[in-house]
Amino acid sequence: MTTLTRRGWRGDKKTESEDASADRELPDEDSDNSKAPRLTLMEEVLLLGLQDKEGYPSFWNDCLSPGLRGGILIELALRGRIQLEPLTARKKRLLDRKVLLKSGAPTGDVLLDETLRHIKASESMETVQTWIELLTGGCREKERKGLGWKLQYQLRNVRERVAKSLVEKGILTTGKQSFLLFDVTTHPVCDAAEKQRLLRKLQDGVLERWPGDVRRMERRLLALLVLAHASDVLEKALGGLEDARYEAAMSRARDVLEADPELEAAQGRGTELIWAVLAAFSRS
């Protein structure tokens, strides 16, 4: 799991009409969306993690792939497709509660719809942490839970598929980079304005539009902050700030990311699955 550091340190069924309106029930859209294409959380996280000219993320980042899977689950929750099972006396903790399918209506996004099919086809309900592991290609709790690897649930080439979606939206382009004996497909940023818009959204969210209370944060901003941290791209996203603003932004990010997920999820507002993803990565 990634850690926050200071600069310089290392260390029930619905009707079809209800389903069709699910994607519109997102009151937390940022206001700066005049002509920019709407990006999924997965696209935003990958864009934050890419080196603009090189077109690939840091070779040392091994958190991005599971982070993108966490983003898929949160995006499905925000679109009204999945939710956590209700709180019970036996299942109080976020990581003990299973993911339930609310609606199997297609979203129009290939990765989201593939994940929906996996959840619907699963023989047993699983937790957020287990789904992240299964979608990534394994399950470290296989001995205890008897799940095996369940490779049929693995989402393959997620990073490349998200990148291709950004290419189709005109934000990235496609190239090749030679590394000794092999070539690697790269995706440099070709729409710098869109990348800057995304950076401003995150930076302004924790500086200029900071509500002073995590429970008043916009859901998609909260989700982006959690996923940027889980994917180890948060410090890179805030790194362009001058020192004083960087320290203020990181301090406020810590206030959010070090909050008690169980306590915050209990407040409702449709954020339970966001906090469950944070809890899953904090535990790993």
Q: What is the pLDDT of residues 164-210, one digit of tens each?
A: 999 999 999 999 887 777 788 899 999 999 999 999 999 999 999 99
Q: What is the pLDDT of residues 54-64, one digit of tens each?
A: 998 988 888 99
Domains (range + CATH), the chain: 41-190+260-282 (1.10.3630.10)
Q: What is the pLDDT of residues 34-44, one digit of tens each?
A: 444 489 999 99
Token pair belonging to 113: 């719809």
Q: At what angle do helices 219-230 and 272-283 cross, to 10 degrees?
A: 10
d(CA 204, CA 208): 5
Question: How many CB atoms neighbour CB 37 within 10 A?
Answer: 14
Average of per-residue pLDDT values in the chain: 84
Instruction: Mark out the alpha helices in 79-127 (DSSP H runs).
Output: 110-121
When pLDDT is averaged across residues 90-102 and rounded to a whole number, the result is: 91
pTM: 0.84
Q: Which of 170, 187, 174, 73 is nearest to 130 (CA)?
A: 73
- DSSP designation for 154: P
Contact 137/162 with Cβ under 8 angstroms?
A: no
Sign of CA dihedral 89, 134, 155, 177: positive
Beta 182-186 vs 175-179: how paired, if at all? antiparallel
Token pair belonging to 114: 């593939």
